[in-house]
Amino acid sequence: MFDQNHILDHIRRWVEIETPTERPDQVNKLVDMVMADHAGLAVDMERVPGRDGKGDHLVVRSTWGQDAPGILILSHLDTVHPMGFIQTRLPYRVEGDIAYGPGIVDMKGCACLAHHALKAVAQAGNGHLGVTHLYVSDEEIGSPTSQALIEELGRKAKYVLVTEGARDGGKIVVARKGVGRFDVHIKGIASHAGAKPLDGRSAIRELGHVILFLEGLCDEGRGVTVTVGTVSGGTKANVIPEEAFAAVDLRVPSLALADELCAKILNIKPVNPDVTITVTGGMNRPPFEQTPAAKALFDHARKIAAEIGFDLVGISTGGGSDGNFTAPFAPTLDGLGVDGKGAHTDFEQIDIRSIVPRTELLHRLLITLR
């Protein structure tokens, strides 16, 4: 039913339009192409103008089934790779069963599969539930301009299918940790490091205590990680540093742990009472937990995969996706895209042999879900 070479050539055309998140003009060029690719299908399209320096979002709705909760497909068109990467570091190419290119697995190849699955349903007219396919322009930076739209559509959906790439040879993602981001600002007292060292209160010294406290919150048994990713502070080597800063990443598998850890991070107390600590931030993406309804959705997908000829294995992962935003509202499956590896690297690739079976999986989900 699906032609591997035809879909691969289509993926190539999407990949060859480079779409760094910070280049809305490039993202919008790909949105133009995606809209043209839907011409003549039984769909309506809504282009949501970009804001805050980000590209447009595209909502593709089937003309059938929109009067009741249906299927929401989530994809993103932006990539992490800078302009020129396809010329200098990662040219599109095919070597045996592998195709390379910037964003090919994260996630242009995957989004393109979903397009072909929906196209097949639209042409055959055999869909039961309405389908909405949302393409966003800012997932790689946390979806700041698309989160509200994702949540709005997620609340209306009966099922959500996320087209992030398959994991570790074809595994599907059934749960993801929630992601928290925090900024720590420490204010001390400056003084001369040689003449008046005792008059100062070192913000960097306090930052050392803060780092040890934060990283001490890691709990492998409960699946909690806290990472101090960047630090800065001070002005000169001979000045007791007045200010210091840190950026912090939190990963938690449940809403209860999110509440617990956020409270601890936001209420850090200084060791030195003459120093002040200000922490801002919170959960960027809520935990994506596998509910009983989501487990039933996975079981259905696994049965379909077995009929196609492959075993679908579900895994949990620490990375976040737009599926985190919908999981609290509707059964969500993630990692439904093409199999590959090397996302965000100069060897990003897909396994061409997975194109047809993964497209067929998406297609059968669209026509069998009730």
pLDDT tens across 108-141, in order?
A: 999 999 999 999 999 999 999 999 999 999 999 9
Note whether 106 and 165 are within 8 A (CB).
yes
> If you average pLDDT over residues 214-242, what whole number do you get?
98
Select from 134, 6, 138 the least CA-distant residue to 70: 134
> If you average pLDDT over residues 347-367, what whole number do you get?
98
Task: Tell me the domain boundaries of the chain.
Answer: 4-177+288-368, 178-285
d(CA 289, CA 177): 8
Cis before 283? omega within 30: no
User: DSSP letter at 87?
Assistant: H
Assign residue 31 a region (left: φ > 0; alpha: ψ between -120 and 50; beta: otherwise): alpha
d(CA 314, CA 310): 13
Structure tokens at 57: 């979002």
d(CA 101, CA 106): 10
d(CA 289, CA 295): 10
User: DSSP letter at 108?
Assistant: I
For the segment 65-109, what is each residue's pLDDT rounded down to a tens digit? 999 999 999 999 999 999 999 999 999 999 999 999 999 999 999
Select from 101, 79, 76, 98 the least CA-distant residue to 90: 101
Q: Quick check: 185 pLDDT over 90?
A: yes
What per-residue confidence (pLDDT) applies to 159? 98
Beta bridge partners of 201: 189
> If you average pLDDT over residues 237-262, what whole number do you get?
97
Beta bridge partners of 282: 181
How far does Cα 183 stand from its chain's mean position?
21
For the segment 300-310, what is each residue's pLDDT rounded down to a tens digit? 999 999 999 99
What per-residue confidence (pLDDT) applies to 329? 95
Give, for 326, the enclosing helix (H) or strand (E).
helix 323-326
Alpha helices in 63-201 (DSSP H): 85-88, 109-124, 147-156
Select from 173, 257, 247, 248 the least CA-distant residue to 220: 257
For the segment 50-64, what is each residue's pLDDT rounded down to a tens digit? 999 999 999 999 999
Give Cα separations from 288 to 131, 164, 179, 240, 269 (angstroms).
22, 14, 10, 44, 30
Q: Quick check: 316 pLDDT over 90?
A: yes
d(CA 251, CA 23): 29
Note whether 314 and 174 are within 8 A (CB).
yes
Residue reference for tokens 């997908």? 301
Rounded percentage of the chain residues whose pLDDT exceeds 70: 100
What per-residue confidence (pLDDT) applies to 121? 98
d(CA 47, CA 57): 6
Which CATH number is associated with domain 178-285?
3.30.70.360
Note whether 28 and 55 are within 8 A (CB).
yes
For the segment 252-264, what is each residue's pLDDT rounded down to a tens digit? 999 999 999 999 9
Edge-to-edge strand list for the sheet holding 43-48: 43-48, 57-62, 131-136, 71-76, 159-162, 332-333
Nearest-10 Cα torsion for 199, 201, 204, 209:
140
Amino acid making up residue 223: G
Amino acid making up residue 308: I
Q: Quick check: 281 pLDDT over 90?
A: yes
Q: Quick check: 207 pLDDT over 90?
A: yes
Q: Which residues contact 194 (CB under 8 A, 6 or more apart)?
A: 238
For the segment 2-31, what is each residue's pLDDT rounded down to a tens digit? 999 999 999 999 999 999 999 999 999 999
Rounded percentage of the chain residues whose pLDDT exceeds 90: 98
What is the CATH class of 4-177+288-368?
Answer: alpha beta
Residue reference for tokens 């960047």? 230
Amino acid making up residue 170: G
Give Cα separations from 49 to 16, 28, 59, 124, 260 (angstroms).
23, 10, 11, 31, 37
Select from 48, 46, 73 the least CA-distant residue to 326: 73
Q: Quick check: 1 pLDDT over 90?
A: no
Identical fold, 4-177+288-368 and 178-285: no
> Residue 364 — pLDDT band, cuts 50, 70, 90?
very high
d(CA 62, CA 239): 64
